[in-house]
Structure formats: structure tokens, C-alpha cells
């Protein structure tokens, strides 16, 4: 039987996952990345060469598993962290470390974009505002701050597309990942000539853009030698991690919504139209499903909040042990509150200077209270996206959970109670790598469409119903929680000592 390979180039590592034509996972492996560098507050950079090293290691690991070989892989799909700026010179060499999705240095460039294009016109052109995480402001920052390096730049690729380039020799991307650059006309699913012209960027910098299941290239001789994959194996466009992850969870039709908690947190709703939110509080991107779009709200510091708390507490507790300490704490944490703005915030505040806070603490609060406050605070932040979807008329018929937030029984229940919907968990909760493999299968003809593939192989394993009493209690707590951000806005954004 032939196999399908999905490769997900994440922030923390690269994952390779192999499925068969029934959608069964038959092999997987992950190779961790060197942690991203943060040479200044709010900066986040990675070396693209490390992504390629990790991809080679993960691919080699799955090809060593029983019954799998380079010859058995029928097609390959890619996914990866969005928004990162990988800058190459005319020889295809990396010019500087890539600026990542969570890098916050580009506030001035965002203002420049907004002033140049106009806020309303910018959202009409790209369906999104200028945010520090997006790719375009990063390009302008390098052009302004590092002009000698910018003079060498001949190509701009997103993280997964750099690994594709190393594997195939081809420069390509997909409409879903390209939506997060602020250079795509999301409604038309094509690069925006207007944005490129008005920001004085050469169109030749950008790769060709494809629909996610389309074949873009094939494994080159160099790629085959480096990985053990078969020369000529077709490679499809794939999708940014959120769109590919949604495919892996079956979020491909209007009304289907996912809430995924990794380092960041994302609420993702599939739509059959390019829905516009004029305030730019949520993103509207092309979906990895041809002819579909999605609306997405983002919490920058979701799983990051729990990791931060774990590291600050010390003691070497696992995430499961942390959850156990919070198991007996009632909804609302006896007044303890957490706002998860460790890396600024996107939805709904669009504020790179937002700061996290523990509030409402008393001497009677325990470690368990703090853990549950973090779980609730992250979930409240994600609920902000549901509130905006309701304003936009985006339907929500069910919620599927993904990422680390789907692995904790306590966090699953908190999400069901805060969202007020039953929380579904799919059988193959593998996220973006699984979605990338599905897209590869559609490109190879294993299934006639992305929707058809998901109907055939994505199954719900369990459902967590909301607790009516907890729903009512947390609705009141959410109202109280929303008062924290405006009350603390601006505090800590500028360090008066560092400024002197």
C-alpha cells in the first residue's frame, strides 16, 4: 500500500507523519529545533537551516519504521508556522535569521503600512490590518534597519516553503499561508499588485502561489540524497499550520469551528465567503480547501502561559501534575484571574504592548488556583473570538479541540464550559502534519476533494458536554475578566528605568 507524508515545520520542532490511504497513522517522528533567539525584548528569530536539519532527521526517522520507505511515499504535503520571513539571496542562501510569527519589533512599520495604504483600504485589499506578527512589516523592518542585507535579498519564503525549496529546488507557497503575509488579495486568492506597488516591493521577490492540494514540484536529486525520499515524489502546496490543522480536524465546512491551543491559541471557523471584520480584530484568510475561506482569532500566549507558569514555579512538575493541583479548584478560582498577554495580543486588542497579569490574588490562593486561573484566562481570551464571530454572523455549530488544550481533561472541560458548546476530540489528533498528509493524498488522487477526504477519514473519538452550572458561573467570571485589560492598559509597556 502506498503512503502519504505530511511535514509540519513548527516553532519548536519539525514533525513528519505518514498515513495510509485509509487515513491511519502508520509512522511519526519529531525533531526539535534550537529554541528561537530573542536578542531584544519582543524579538524572536530562528535559523532556517535548523528547520531543514530537523526536517531531514524527522523524515529519516519515519522512513526507518517497518513497512515504510522512500519508494512507498506517493506524495508529500507541507505545513508550518505562519508569517516568518525567510530571506534568500540570488544563490538561494539565507541572508539573515528569520523573523518569526511572534516577533513584535515592527510596530513602526505597521503604522507606516497603515498610513501609506489607509486603514479601511488595507482591510479591503487584504481583509486584515497591519499587525506586528505578519510578514510584510518584517520585510520593511529589514529594508529600513539592515539596508546592506536587504540589498542582497532576491526571494522571500515562508518557513515551510524554505524546507520545500531545500527538498525540491522549487519556490512555491499556498494561498492559506500567503494570506498571513499582508501581501495577498485574500478575496481573489492572488498576490496583491496594489500592496506590492504602494510599498515599493518587487513582485519577483515572491514565489508562485497555489491552492493547497495542487502539486507544486517534486523531490529533487539533492532532496532525495538528503532525506531518503524517492526522486520525483510529487509535493503539494500544503497550508499554513492553522489551515492544515483544521483540515486534519475536519473543519472544512461552514459552521465547523476549532479551538487549538499550542504555544499560541487559535479559534478557527470555516466559511464559504471572504468574511470582512472592518476592525481587523480577527483574521480572514484563504482556507486550504479550494473555494473556502476561514475566520481566525489568535491569542499569542496561550500554551505559552502554562509553560511560563510551570517554569516560574519550578519543581519539575509535568503539565499533567499541574492540572492535578487544580482539579479541586472551583470555576472562577475564588477570584484569581490571568490575562495571557505575554507576547502582546492580537484578538481582540491588536496591541503589541499588552502585558500579562495575575489579578485578584489573596493569601488563601494556592498553586492549584493559579494553574486553573491560567487555564481559564487563556480560554476566556479565546472566547473573545467567538464573541466577534457572533457579531459577524459566522455560524458556530460545533467546536473541536486541538493542541495541548485537547490533551488535558480539565482544560477540555473548562473549554466546553466557557464556550457553551460540547467539545469534540477527533481520533487522529495530530493537527497540521495530519492535514498536510491529507492534502498530499488529495493531490495524488487518493480522495477526490479535501471535503471528501475529511468525510472519509476524520472521526470524532469523544465529546465533552458543558456543565450547565459551570457555564453560568463562568459567564459571569468572563464579564469580570474582561475588565482587566482596559484597567491595566499601558502598564509595563514602557520600562521607565530602561528608558533613562
Give the pLDDT confidence of 6-37 residue by residue, as tens digits: 999 999 899 999 999 999 999 999 999 999 99
Q: Which of 20, 241, 353, 417 is catalytic?
A: 241
For residue 446, being part of any structural domain is answered with no
Beta-carbon contacts of residue 386 (< 8 Å; ≥ 6 apart) = 257, 267, 297, 396, 419
SS3 content of the chain, % helix, strand, coil (to 5): 40, 25, 35
- 179 and 263 co-located in one domain: no
- 348 and 490 co-located in one domain: yes
Q: For residue 499, is pLDDT > 70?
A: no
| pLDDT computed for residue 428 by the predictor | 80
- 254 and 234 co-located in one domain: no
Distance CA 367, CA 417 (A): 22
Distance CA 183, CA 134 (A): 10
Report percent pLDDT > 90 for the chain.
89
Q: What is the 3-state secondary structure (H, E, C) of 407-447?
A: CCHHHHHHHHHHHCCCEEEECCCCCHHHHHHHHHHHHHCCC
Catalytic residue list contains 241: yes
Containing 210, the helix (H) or strand (E) segment is: strand 208-210
Of 266 and 431, which is predicted with more confidence?
Answer: 266
Alpha helices in 344-431 (DSSP H): 367-392, 409-419
For residue 456, being part of any structural domain is answered with no
- Res. 498 pLDDT band, cuts 50 70 90: low
For residue 443, being part of any structural domain is answered with no
* Helix, strand, or coil (residue 450): helix
Q: What is the 3-state secondary structure (H, E, C) of 263-326?
A: CCEEEEEEECCCCCCCCCCCEEEECCCCCCEEEEEEECCHHHHHHHHHHHHCCCCCHHHHHHHH
For residue 267, being part of any structural domain is answered with yes
CB 303, CB 264: distance < 8 Å? yes
- 226 and 347 co-located in one domain: no
- 168 and 234 co-located in one domain: yes
Containing 397, the helix (H) or strand (E) segment is: strand 396-403
For residue 434, being part of any structural domain is answered with no
Q: For residue 297, is pLDDT > 50?
A: yes
- 472 and 342 co-located in one domain: yes
| pLDDT tens-digit readout, 392-406 | 999 998 899 998 889
For residue 439, being part of any structural domain is answered with no
For residue 448, being part of any structural domain is answered with no
| pLDDT computed for residue 500 by the predictor | 47
CA distances from 115 to 107, 112, 121, 500 (A): 12, 5, 10, 30
- 282 and 198 co-located in one domain: no
Q: For residue 453, is pLDDT > 50?
A: yes
- What values do phi and psi take at 388, rounded to 5? -70, -40
Neighbours of 496 (CB within 10 A): 6
| pLDDT tens-digit readout, 269-294 | 999 999 889 888 999 999 999 999 99
Domain stops at, among 215, 243, 271: 243
Q: What is the mean pLDDT of the chain?
A: 95
Domain count, the chain: 2
Domain stops at, among 243, 278, 313: 243
- What values do phi and psi take at 263, rounded to 5? -55, -50
The CATH number covering residue 31 comes to 3.30.420.40
Domain stops at, among 224, 243, 262: 243
DSSP letter for 230, please.
P
For residue 453, being part of any structural domain is answered with no
- 132 and 262 co-located in one domain: no
- 305 and 162 co-located in one domain: no
Task: Give the range of the structural domain holding residue 88, as residue numbers without chain letter.
Answer: 3-243
Q: What would the grid cell of residue 448 be?
A: 477526490
Containing 357, the helix (H) or strand (E) segment is: strand 357-359
- What values do phi and psi take at 454, rounded to 5? -65, -40
| pLDDT computed for residue 315 by the predictor | 84
- 257 and 221 co-located in one domain: no
- 211 and 285 co-located in one domain: no
Beta-carbon contacts of residue 267 (< 8 Å; ≥ 6 apart) = 257, 258, 259, 296, 297, 347, 382, 385, 386, 389
- 146 and 270 co-located in one domain: no
Amino acid at each position: 500500500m502506498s503512503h502519504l507524508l505530511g511535514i509540519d515545520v513548527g516553532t519548536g520542532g519539525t514533525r513528519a507523519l505518514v498515513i495510509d490511504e485509509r487515513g491511519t497513522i502508520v509512522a511519526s517522528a519529531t525533531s526539535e529545533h534550537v529554541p528561537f533567539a530573542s536578542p531584544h525584548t519582543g524579538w524572536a528569530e530562528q535559523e532556517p537551516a535548523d528547520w531543514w536539519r530537523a526536517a531531514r532527521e524527522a523524515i529519516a526517522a519515519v522512513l526507518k519504521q517497518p513497512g515504510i520507505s522512500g519508494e512507498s511515499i506517493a506524495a508529500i504535503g507541507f505545513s508550518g508556522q505562519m508569517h516568518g520571513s525567510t530571506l534568500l539571496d540570488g544563490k538561494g542562501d539565507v541572508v539573515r535569521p528569520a523573523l518569526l510569527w511572534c516577533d513584535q519589533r515592527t510596530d513602526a512599520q505597521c503604522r507606516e503600512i497603515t498610513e501609506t495604504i489607509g486603514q479601511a483600504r488595507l482591510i479591503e485589499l487584504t481583509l486584515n490590518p497591519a499587525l506586528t506578527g505578519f510578514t510584510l512589516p518584517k520585510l520593511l523592518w529589514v529594508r529600513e534597519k539592515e539596508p546592506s542585507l536587504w540589498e542582497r535579498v532576491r526571494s522571500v519564503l515562508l518557513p515551510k516553503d524554505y524546507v520545500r525549496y531545500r527538498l525540491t529546488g522549487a519556490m512555491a507557497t499556498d494561498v492559506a499561508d500567503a494570506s498571513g503575509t499582508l501581501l495577498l488579495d485574500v478575496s481573489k486568492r492572488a498576490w496583491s499588485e496594489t500592496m506590492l506597488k504602494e510599498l515599493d516591493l518587487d513582485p519577483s521577490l515572491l514565489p508562485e502561489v497555489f491552492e493547497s492540494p495542487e502539486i507544486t514540484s517534486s523531490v529533487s536529486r539533492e532532496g532525495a540524497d538528503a532525506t531518503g525520499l524517492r526522486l520525483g515524489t510529487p509535493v503539494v502546496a500544503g497550508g499554513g499550520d492553522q489551515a492544515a490543522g483544521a483540515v486534519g480536524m475536519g473543519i472544512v465546512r461552514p459552521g465547523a469551528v476549532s479551538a487549538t491551543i499550542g504555544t499560541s491559541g487559535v479559534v478557527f471557523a470555516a466559511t464559504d465567503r471572504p468574511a470582512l471584520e472592518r476592525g481587523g480584530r480577527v483574521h480572514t484568510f484563504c482556507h486550504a480547501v479550494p473555494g473556502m475561506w476561514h475566520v481566525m482569532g489568535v491569542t499569542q500566549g496561550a500554551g505559552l502561559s502554562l509553560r511560563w507558569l510551570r517554569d516560574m514555579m519550578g519543581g519539575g512538575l509535568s503539565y499533567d501534575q499541574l492540572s492535578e493541583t487544580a482539579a479541586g479548584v472551583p470555576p472562577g478560582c475564588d477570584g484569581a484571574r490571568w490575562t495571557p498577554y505575554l507576547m502582546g495580543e492580537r484578538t481582540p486588542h491588536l496591541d503589541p504592548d499588552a502585558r500579562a497579569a495575575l489579578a485578584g490574588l489573596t493569601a488563601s490562593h494556592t498553586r492549584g488556583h493559579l494553574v486553573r486561573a491560567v487555564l481559564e484566562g487563556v480560554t476566556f481570551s479565546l472566547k473573545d473570538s467567538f464573541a466577534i464571530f457572533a457579531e459577524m454572523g459566522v455560524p458556530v455549530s460545533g467546536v473541536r479541540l486541538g493542541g495541548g488544550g485537547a490533551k488535558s481533561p480539565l482544560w477540555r472541560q473548562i473549554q466546553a464550559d466557557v464556550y457553551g458548546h460540547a467539545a469534540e476530540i477527533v481520533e487522529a489528533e495530530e493537527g497540521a502534519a495530519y492535514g498536510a498528509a491529507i492534502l498530499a493524498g488529495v493531490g495524488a488522487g487518493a480522495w477526490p476533494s479535501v471535503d471528501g477526504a475529511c468525510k472519509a477519514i476524520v472521526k470524532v473519538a469523544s465529546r465533552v458536554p458543558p456543565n450547565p452550572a459551570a457555564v453560568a458561573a463562568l459567564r459571569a467570571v468572563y464579564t469580570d475578566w474582561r475588565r482587566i485589560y482596559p484597567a491595566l492598559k499601558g502598564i509595563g509597556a514602557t520600562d521607565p528605568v530602561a528608558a533613562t
